Amino acid sequence: MEADKVEKNKLKINSPKIGIYFNIVAILSFIIALSFILINWSTLPDKVPSHYNLAGEPDKWSDRWFVFVPLMIGIFLWFSLQIVETRPHLHNYSGLTEKNREVLFKNSMLLMNFIKNEMLIYFSFSAINDIYVAKGKGSIVGPWDLLIFSVMIIGTIIIFVVRSVRLKKEVS
């Protein structure tokens, strides 16, 4: 019974252009970070930061291979959220009707697109930042790293929830 309901809610929706552009920007950030690691590999010290305290200072160090971990996390999340993004009929909605289904699906897909791309950009930036810190140049944004990321993700979610409420009112 539940599977029939999910199947009935399926709707073919193409990704919006802004989502495609944002995908390109995020993938480019990943490629730039990977290239930056490879270019700097020979000059990296044996230990790189693997954890930071709230002041933005490294409090744990790991082998230099650790600089790839943020990129691996980022690309794993990107592909995982890509799967979620392309299946809006499985997302959770309140007040979903036949009338507002398409606009809410598009909004939800765009939210997932923004979150997945923001995460990949953040983890790509983190890998580059780790190299700066490992080479003694200091953090690019200092202690603000986690705060900026948190505000970015939470802000995106708030914007899209408000947008969803407005879209529901406009359509009904």
**pTM for this structure?**
0.89
- Report mean pLDDT in 10-residue bins for the chain, 172 residues: 55 86 98 98 97 91 97 98 91 80 90 98 97 94 90 97 91 77
Distance separating alpha carbons of residues 90 and 10, to the nearest angstrom: 9
Q: Helix, strand, or coil here: 9?
A: helix
Between the two ends of the chain, the Cα-to-Cα distance in Å is 27
Q: What is the structure's pLDDT at 1?
A: 43
